[in-house]
Amino acid sequence: MADTLRRLLRLLSLLQSRPVWSGPELAERLEVTDRTIRRDVERLRELGYPVTGEQGALGGYRLGPGARLPPLVLEDDEAVAIAVALRQAAGSGVEGLGESALRGLTKLDQVLPARLAVEVEALTDATSWLPRRDHPEVAAALLTDLAAAVRGHRRVRFSYRSGEDRVTERDVLPYRLLTSGRLWYLFADDPERQDWRTFRLDRMSEVYVTSWTFTPREAPDPVSLLGERRPWPNVARLRVRGTTAADLERHLGSYVTVTTLPQGDCLVEAGASEWTALAWYLGRTLWQLGAEVVGAKPADLVELWRDLGQHLVRWAGPPGHK
């Protein structure tokens, strides 16, 4: 049985390495008969691998696409390359990619042999990806540790620095990792405060995943909960034309409310702690989308835009100026 399993894994690896293999070629590589190859191919099909066979001079066996992605056999160097790439993708900021990469990285880390894990760590430590200055970095190791804590229902302790630079010690029950743009958050149950809380990962330090487990209870939807709790002191309301609600939501983030009006325009409501940051963020994003603002409130936002526009015109100089 062990020999058969090893042969099947080797056969699967060969089929993944190039588009088509003839039966005699596979038999020669695996040092078995053509009949054994046919039996092994049938075993792979029973396991869900879509192996097709074609007759003729150009025929042979090929591994085709299936309805579901079957388990893959990776060589050592391939596993290392994928693990490093997933760590980079986890912090890429590409919409939907970060969380997917983190889930894949968590699964891979669980089965990665120790010798390969050392290679991945060494390569990651020796490689630097230049961060964007407007977004803090989050270590891939912290992401994977917290993802494992969420999956294993293990308590997490850490020091947390608030936006006012006040540091507190936290002991929480982690439920989910969230990402918005290039920022990562931990959504957790805080027993001490008896409430659901979110913590920015870049403000966490001395993170320790304990061995204490907990039984998860029903949790509220974190996105909806955060939307209900937005304590923004400054809220802008815009009437936007020339783009869609879907594009606005995708580019402005999940904490912005977008409503499609009967005339086809969009009503955008967005909040922030400072008017300057909100004016710059909205103006830059809407400009990039090629959208047109046909109405804006309150006057504070409009005045900041007017002031910014005057500065930009003055810095650019008159037409033809170099």
Q: Are residues 148 and 208 in the same domain?
A: yes
Report the mean per-residue pLDDT for the chain: 80
In a domain, 187, yes or no: yes
Check whether 116 has a pLDDT greater than 50. yes
Q: Into how many domains does the chain fold?
A: 3
Would the pLDDT of 307 be above 60?
A: yes
Does a structural domain hold residue 281?
yes
Contact partners, residue 199, CB within 8 Å, separation at least 6 = 158, 160, 170, 172, 185, 186, 188
Same domain, 120 and 241: no
Q: Which tens digit of pLDDT belongs to each residue from 35-88?
A: 999 998 898 888 878 888 877 555 688 887 664 555 666 677 777 777 777 776
**Do 246 and 149 reside in the same domain of the chain?**
no
- Ranges 104-108, 135-139, 187-191, 255-259, most confident: 187-191
Q: Do 17 and 56 fall within a single domain?
A: yes
Question: Is the domain of 193 the same as that of 285?
Answer: no
Coil, helix or strand at residue 105 = helix
pLDDT greater than 60 at residue 23: yes
Is there a single domain that holds both residue 88 and residue 189?
A: yes
- From 8-12, 98-102, 184-188, 258-262, the region with the lowest mean pLDDT: 98-102
Do 185 and 257 lie in a common domain? Answer: no
H-helix or E-strand spanning residue 9 = helix 2-17
CATH (domain of 16)? 1.10.10.10
Residue 123 within a domain: yes
70 part of a folded domain: no
pLDDT class for 14, splitting at 50, 70, 90?
Answer: confident
**At residue 126, does pLDDT exceed 70?**
no
Q: Do the domain assignments include residue 16?
A: yes
User: Is residue 321 domain-resident?
Assistant: no
Domain boundary residue among 37, 63, 89?
63
Q: Are 37 and 106 within one domain?
A: no
Q: Percent of the chain at pLDDT above 70?
A: 76
CA distance 61 to 38: 10
Q: Are both 122 and 177 inside the same structural domain?
A: yes
Greater pLDDT, 102 or 286: 286
Rounded CA-CA distance 101/84 in Å is 11
**pLDDT band at 102, cuts 50/70/90?**
low
User: Which of 217, 241, 266 finishes a domain?
Assistant: 217
Residue 90 belongs to a domain:
yes
* Predicted TM-score of the model (pTM): 0.47
Task: Report yes or no on 225 lying in a domain.
Answer: no
229 vs 216, higher pLDDT: 216
Q: What is the mean pLDDT of residues 19-28?
A: 87
Q: Are 54 and 101 in the same domain?
A: no
Closest CA to 172 of 220, 214, 217, 219: 214
Q: Are 85 and 140 in contact (CB under 8 A)?
A: no
| CATH code, domain carrying 249 | 3.30.70.2860
34 or 254, greater pLDDT: 34
Both 49 and 90 in one domain: the answer is no
101 burial via Cβ count (<10 Å: 0-12, 13-18, 19+): buried
What pLDDT sits at residue 36? 92
* Between 303 and 93, residue with greater pLDDT: 303
Which residues span the domain enclosing 151?
78-128+135-217
The reply to whether 259 and 184 lie within a common domain is no
Residue 129 or residue 279, greater confidence = 279
